[in-house]
Amino acid sequence: MNEFLAYLEKAEWLSVEQGEEPGSPLRITLTAFEVFLPPLELPKIADQWRLWFEVELSLPPLLAKDPYTQDLFRRWCASNVTIDDMELAIELARKANTAPSPTALHDFLKTVRTTKIERARR
């Protein structure tokens, strides 16, 4: 059981705490489930974007934790980017035969947001 819990902790699905005394209580906190988002929801912290990218687009964790990528995730939180906005950016990237990396999607996201603003003005 310890190996299984260590594996899940390394994968950032949960955290495990236990005192050093024999028989001390074991506390397990599910972490990944706290940040998964239903579609169209507004991510509020960079970790929500990180997990979404890792799960939905198979973004390698090393790239997802890169400081530049984390900066993009925080920028998207600050500017209220939704999952719906990101899915539209992904579609634009696919039409342009561009890999859906956070950096590439940031450029397509600008197009999505500009289009939404133009439609709202009509």
**Mean pLDDT score, 85-92:** 94
What tens digit of pLDDT does each residue of 35-79 get? Answer: 555 555 678 899 999 999 998 889 999 999 999 999 999 999 999
Res. 96: pLDDT tops 90: yes
Res. 8: pLDDT tops 90: no
Q: Check residues 8 and 66 and name the one with the higher pLDDT.
A: 66
- The confidence score (pLDDT) of residue 95 equals 95
Q: List, in order, residues 6 or more apart from 20 with CB less than 8 Å away.
A: none
- The confidence score (pLDDT) of residue 19 equals 86
Q: Are 6 and 23 contained in the same domain?
A: yes
Count of structural domains within the chain:
2
Q: For residue 26, what are the domain limits?
A: 1-34
Cβ–Cβ < 8 Å for 92, 111: yes
54 closest CA partner among 26, 68, 73, 29: 73
What tens digit of pLDDT does each residue of 98-111 get? Answer: 998 999 999 999 99
Q: Are 52 and 4 contained in the same domain?
A: no
Q: Are 25 and 46 contained in the same domain?
A: no
Q: pLDDT grade, residue 32 (50/70/90)?
A: low
